[in-house]
């Protein structure tokens, strides 16, 4: 990882790992995934309180990379989750209240990507491919990765864990695609 990117996502200078490859924690198996089901009614009414309490529990349990968000009640809606304005507003408010949200989000079931697209300005879509502007995507990925890393540091997680967390978020959200 280049040094100025390391700084932008809040990582320490260089790790003394002797060049060892560290796998992101998000690559663990799907066991232990916590599903947080968000009801349509709560989304439409803008209710966050119960979910914020859940994240307080997740903080105590340190559920890094183990939370999947499911939006219930939208099964018949033909739009993608990130195209539903009420959901995008709800996720935006959640991120404002839990700025280190991506510390918790799982890579399973595309939970991290869905939350990311809810926070992004999607400019196009072709099949499963979603397009956002590269500059906006790069800034948002750096922001959510940095918040997650700062939170991991606050929890006194090792530099290796911080690096793996940052790399997992950058990889899952397609940071490399925003550079070209």
Give the span between the Cα atoms of 100 and 118, in whole angstroms. Answer: 16
For residue 167, count other CB atoms closer than 10 A to its CB.
20
Q: Is there a contact between 141 and 172 (Cβ–Cβ < 8 Å)?
A: no
Residue 124 is predicted with a pLDDT of 67
| Average pLDDT along the chain | 84
Residues above pLDDT 70, as percent of the chain: 82
Q: Does the structure show a pLDDT above 90 at 127?
A: no
Residue 7 is predicted with a pLDDT of 76
3-state SS, residue 124: strand
pLDDT interval class at 132 (50, 70, 90): low
The whole model's pTM is what? 0.82
């Amino acid at each position: 990882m280049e040094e100025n990117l390391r700084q932008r996502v809040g990582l320490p200078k260089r790790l003394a790992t002797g060049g060892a490859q560290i796998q992101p924690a998000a690559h663990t198996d799907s066991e232990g995934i916590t599903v947080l089901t968000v009801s349509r009614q709560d989304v439409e009414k803008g209710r966050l309180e119960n979910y914020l309490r859940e994240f307080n529990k997740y903080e105590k349990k340190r559920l890094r990379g183990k939370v999947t968000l499911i939006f219930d009640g939208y099964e018949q809606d033909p739009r993608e989750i990130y195209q539903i304005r009420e959901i995008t507003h709800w996720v935006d408010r959640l991120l404002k209240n839990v700025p280190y949200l991506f510390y918790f989000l799982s890579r399973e079931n595309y939970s991290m990507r869905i939350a990311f697209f809810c926070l992004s300005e999607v400019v196009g879509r072709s099949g499963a491919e979603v397009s956002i502007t590269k500059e906006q995507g790069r800034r948002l990925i750096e922001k959510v990765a940095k918040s997650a890393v700062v939170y991991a540091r606050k929890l006194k997680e090792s530099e290796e864990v911080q690096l793996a967390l940052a790399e997992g978020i950058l990889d899952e959200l397609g940071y490399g695609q925003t550079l070209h």
